[in-house]
Amino acid sequence: MSSPPLSGLFEHLKAACPAAWRAYTRHEFVARLGDGSLPDAAFRHYLAQDYLFLIHYARALGLAVYKADRLQEIRGTLGVLKAIVDVEMGLHVAYCARWGLSEAEMEAVAEDDATLAYTRFVLERGAAGDLLDLHVAMAPCVVGYAEIGRALAADPATKRDGNSYADWIEMYAGTEYGAVADEAVRQLDALYARRAGPGRLPELEKNFAAATRLESAFWQMGLNAAAAAASPAGR
């Protein structure tokens, strides 16, 4: 059995792509969530695309069930999949309704290039590789959101009163989502210990860095949509 890196696999993967991780977790979109200056159009575009992303995330979890070879892994992944489909999607739809987005509208939205790129990357890595490859590709999203939420919540510069995005920050900084992220980190170490060794690290690092860059592009997508909507040609 191969032990994960001493820092833990997730921390090792982050440390292997510091510039990409910083660009993702400190993106302008994230900073403007914190100070409340993010244009509404950017956030609404992000929310609609995140609805589509969640559908593909559920597909990836279905793939994870197939790739699992232990009953405990199957049960655990199936539980998360059911939570996404039966609970999380409903909560997301209700949250989006507060921003003037109906589920029918989001279903009709075309997938942005950034959504296509990241979701298909995750599914391809899972299809071509094993369960560890799939979880590494999803980790920047699952664990990164908790890190971003916690950082924004702890930052004295984050606007609390009158910030339209305060509840988004609270959700991802909260203990409930934190437990999801912490379990994802634990699972990465368990999968690495059982399925991998140092020889796999370069490929895992490469895929984690690519997924991180695709997450940055997901943030940038919202800013680009808002800029296009505000331009004379976009009106």
In eight-state DSSP terms, residue 233 is G
Residue 215 catalytic?
Answer: yes
Among residues 17, 141, 147, 170, the one annotated as catalytic is 141
Token pair belonging to 230: 């505000």
Tokens of 43: 């956030």
Spatial separation of the C-alpha atoms in residues 201 and 17, rounded to whole Å: 13
Is 105 considered catalytic here? no
CA dist., res. 183 & res. 201, Å (int): 21
Distance CA(169)–CA(165), nearest Å, equals: 6
Catalytic residue among 17, 73, 96, 215: 215
Q: Which residues of 29-53 are buried (b: 16+ CB within 10 A; e: fewer)?
A: bbbbbbeeebbebbbbbbbbbbbbb
Catalytic site positions: 141, 215
